[in-house]
């Protein structure tokens, strides 16, 4: 019986991963479907778009428009520790007006993630978010 329980525990650890795994989240409107903290992650993205994104674009002379720059975004995988601090796991994709992502813009995007006051339910989680936006032209 003990061996069976140990085997089940090992199987579920392998199947579901460890705390360093990234919860792949689609970018559609049903973001993080099925996750209990779905709305809290939406709040993080919404806060970025409302309070930081426009200021970052202005600071770096970037303007979204169909005639030129159609998207500025970064897909970033990160963990929020139990203490509420951020550990960047990796940047999966980034685009700024079809060109290389400027280092200063990257720094400002990541600063937002480090500064955001994550609520307690998000502590101890790892996720991949898309910060930024694009236009359908």
10 has pLDDT over 90: no
Q: Is the model more confident about 15 or about 48?
A: 48
Domains identified in the chain, total number? 1
- Judge residue 3's burial from the number of C-beta atoms within 10 Å of its C-beta, 0-12 exposed, 13-18 middle, 19 or more buried: exposed
Query: What is the pLDDT, as a whole number, of residue 51?
Result: 95
Decide if 31 is inside a domain.
yes
Asked whether residue 1 is domain-assigned, the answer is no
Question: Which pTM was predicted?
Answer: 0.72
Residue 16 is assigned to a structural domain of this protein: no
Asked if residue 84 is part of any domain, the answer here is yes
Average pLDDT of the chain is 78
Q: Is residue 89 part of a domain?
A: yes
The answer to the question of residue 4 being in a domain is: no
Model pLDDT, residue 4: 40
Q: Does 3 reside within a domain? A: no
Domain that holds residue 125: 21-134
Query: C-alpha distances in angstroms, 135 versus 17, 38, 64, 65, 132?
Result: 35, 24, 7, 7, 11
């Amino acid at each position: 019986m003990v061996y069976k329980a140990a085997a089940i525990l090992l199987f579920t650890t392998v199947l579901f991963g460890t705390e360093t795994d990234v919860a792949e989240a689609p970018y559609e409107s049903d973001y993080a479907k099925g996750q209990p903290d779905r709305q809290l992650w939406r709040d993080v993205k919404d806060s970025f778009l409302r309070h930081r994104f426009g200021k970052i674009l202005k600071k770096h002379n970037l303007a979204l428009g169909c005639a030129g720059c159609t998207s500025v975004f970064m897909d970033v995988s990160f963990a929020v520790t139990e203490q509420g601090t951020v550990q960047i796991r990796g940047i999966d994709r980034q685009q700024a007006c079809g060109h290389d992502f400027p280092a200063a813009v990257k720094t400002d995007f990541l600063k937002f993630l480090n500064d955001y006051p994550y609520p307690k339910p998000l502590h101890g989680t790892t996720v991949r978010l898309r910060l930024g936006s694009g236009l359908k032209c």
